[in-house]
Amino acid sequence: MALISMQDVSFTYAYSEAPALSNVSLTLEEGLLYGVIGVNASGKTTLCSLMRGLIPLFHPGTLTGKVEIRGRNLLEWDPAELSRAIGCVFENPFTQISGIKDTVFEEIAFGLENIGVPRDEMIERVLEVVERLGLEALIKKNPNELSGGQRQKVAFAAIVAMDADFIVIDEPTSQLDPEASDAVFEIIGDLRKRGKSIVLVEHKIDLMAQHADRIIVMKDGRVIGEGPTAEIVTSALMDEADVPRPEVTELALALQGAGKAFPSLPITRAEAFAALSSRLGR
Ligand SMILES: Nc1ncnc2c1ncn2[C@@H]1O[C@H](COP(=O)(O)OP(=O)(O)OP(=O)(O)O)[C@@H](O)[C@H]1O
């Protein structure tokens, strides 16, 4: 059974004239990391909101077509059940903090508390993620007094602690410095290895090339392509969507244009390194 299936789905936000999603048909399988790419306003967050069940319940508008999550029509899911089944981190960390907890520790524990995780296990799970994201110095602070980047890390920590099988992550590193971004992506890499199903929106295409199993390409509310990462990020779809290719792919293409062909186009630094060192070794 597919994780998500969408058939000819369109959505227009209330009071908006143009559709944010147009005739989207997609099937997402369990256990893979799907990267969603596209320029600003191409519909990535709207697609995530739909997969997470926030549309049409919390973002009203006109929805047509059919969306199924694990074989059940989206409209038949109980919202509370859906929020337990799907972890979700949205781009704006200011809307992610509950606003009712006095400390970062309690904020991260909040979701676990709601689903009745025993206290000892809860403390263990929170402390583990706090350590991995280097949040020790923040745990006694009031979440409302954090910077945007700190809030983003706390929101991410809360979702990781929940340990859902399916996680929707929308631009998790938009406000983070390189070191914090690396820590977040290390955890995302681990979640993927543990077989979680992940939908990830991320503008940094080099990170996407490194971590995604498959890529969904969006333009003007439409899905213009979906396929294995290497196939998509080296294809002409990237030009059509106006999204840059990974740096190493661009470099290899430039070398190819100068008559110095690579055996195959690299999409990660590790692949470029392997291809270059085998040539230089000769
Ligand atoms: N709550 C809303 N009400 C009305 N229109 C909205 C709302 N949210 C998004 N839109 C519109 O829907 C379209 C798609 O927006 P969306 O946020 O899904 O794009 P995106 O690809 O995630 O963009 P970005 O990369 O800037 O985050 C845009 O035209 C946007 O203006």
ipTM: 0.98
Instruction: Tell me which residue of 24, 46, 20, 44 sits closest to 34, measured CA to CA.
Output: 44
Mutate to test the pocket of ligand 1, among 37, 39, 45, 63 (most ligand atoms within 8 A of CB): 45
Angle at CA 190, nearest 5°, toward 188 and 196?
Answer: 75
pLDDT by residue for the chain (282 residues), tens digit each?
Answer: 899 999 999 999 999 989 999 999 999 999 999 999 999 999 999 999 999 888 888 889 999 999 999 999 998 988 888 877 777 666 555 556 666 778 999 999 988 888 888 999 999 999 999 998 889 999 999 988 888 888 888 888 988 888 888 999 988 888 888 888 888 898 899 899 989 999 999 999 999 999 999 999 999 999 999 999 999 999 999 999 999 999 999 999 998 888 887 778 899 999 999 888 877 765
Q: What residue type is 191 in one-letter code?
A: L
For the chain, the domains span 4-96+164-242, 246-282
Cα 6 to Cα 59, 72, 130, 136, distances in angstroms: 18, 11, 36, 41
| Residue 179 CB neighbours (<10 A) | 8
**Superfamily the domain 4-96+164-242 falls into:** P-loop containing nucleotide triphosphate hydrolases (3.40.50.300)
User: CA 73, CA 188: separation in Å to the nearest integer?
Assistant: 28
Tracing tokens 């009712």 back to the chain, one arrives at 100
Distances (CA, A) of 239 to 124, 146, 228: 46, 39, 17
Q: Which residue has the tokens 């940094």?
A: 204
Q: Which of 9, 10, 42, 208 has the most ligand 1 atoms within 8 A of CB, as the residue to mutate? A: 42
Contacts of 220 (CB under 8 A, 6+ apart): 22, 42, 43
Q: How far is the CA of 41 from the centre of ligand 1 (A)?
A: 5
Considering the entire predicted model, what is its pTM? Answer: 0.91
Q: Determine the Cα–Cα distance for residues 237 and 172; give it in Å rounded to an integer.
A: 24
Please report the pLDDT score of residue 159 as a whole number.
87
Residues 189, 208: Cα–Cα separation, whole Å: 11
- Look at residue 263 in the predicted model and tell me its pLDDT: 77
198 C-alpha to ligand 1 centroid (Å): 21
Mutation choice for ligand 1 from 11, 16, 48, CB with most ligand atoms inside 8 A: 16
**Ligand 1 atom 5: residue of nearest CA:** 13
Q: What amino acid occupies position 257?
A: G
State in Å: Cα 207 to ligand 1 middle. Answer: 23
Which residues' Cβ are closer than 6 Å to ligand 1?
A: 13, 16, 20, 38, 40-46, 59
Q: Cβ distance 33 to 83 under 8 Å?
A: no
Compute the distance between CA of residue 96 and CA of residue 94 in angstroms, rounded to an integer.
Answer: 6
CB 48 within 8 A of CB 170: yes
Q: Ligand 1: distance of its center to the CA of 142 in Å?
A: 31
Q: How far is ligand 1, taken at its centre, from the CA of residue 131, in Å?
A: 34
**What is the reported pLDDT for 95?**
58
Task: Single out the residue of 182, 167, 232, 177 nearest to residue 31, CA to CA.
Answer: 167
